[in-house]
Amino acid sequence: MPSHGRREGIKIVGPLDQNREKELIGGLKNALERGEKIERAKQTFLNAGYSPKEVAMAIKKLPATTPILAPTKDKASLGKPGEKPPAKLLPASSTTPKKKSKLLLIIIIIISALVLIGAGLLGLFWNSLFGG
């Protein structure tokens, strides 16, 4: 039977497709933000059929805010004595705005409750205070 130019076991891969690159970068970023180690995430994509070159290129293009290489506690990463440890990269979203908005909501609720209690007490004692 004719093979119509197709050979078994040969895989023709062109330059990295933009959509494929975005999938890789997004998947790696997602795995790292969930606390996955870069090596394990890399191996997962290799097992899924991505080429080592594609995965390496995607890792290089990860955004700087992705917690890709948080400092480890091994001796190689400790540096020289007296030297500051490297800064830990934070995820893109910080929890500070959520905490502030939650605190603001609690303050508004407390002030509203105090105003309602004051209005209720004023209504109860209105005649004795102003009526005579």
Does residue 37 sit in the same domain as residue 101? no
Task: Please state which of the ranges 39-43, 59-63, 123-127 shows the lowest mean pLDDT.
Answer: 59-63
Amino acid letter, 10: I
- Residue-wise pLDDT for 80-121, tens only, equals 555 555 555 555 555 567 788 899 999 999 999 999 999 999
Is residue 126 exposed (0-12), middle (13-18) or buried (19+ Cβ within 10 Å)? Answer: exposed
In this predicted structure, the answer to whether residue 15 has a pLDDT above a threshold of 90 is no
Give 22's Cβ-side CA count (13 Å radius): 3
User: What domain range includes position 58?
Assistant: 12-93
Does residue 63 sit in the same domain as residue 99? no
Does residue 18 sit in the same domain as residue 50? yes
Please state the domain count of the chain.
2
| Distance, CA of 113 to CA of 62 (rounded, Å) | 49
pTM: 0.39
State residue 77's pLDDT score.
45
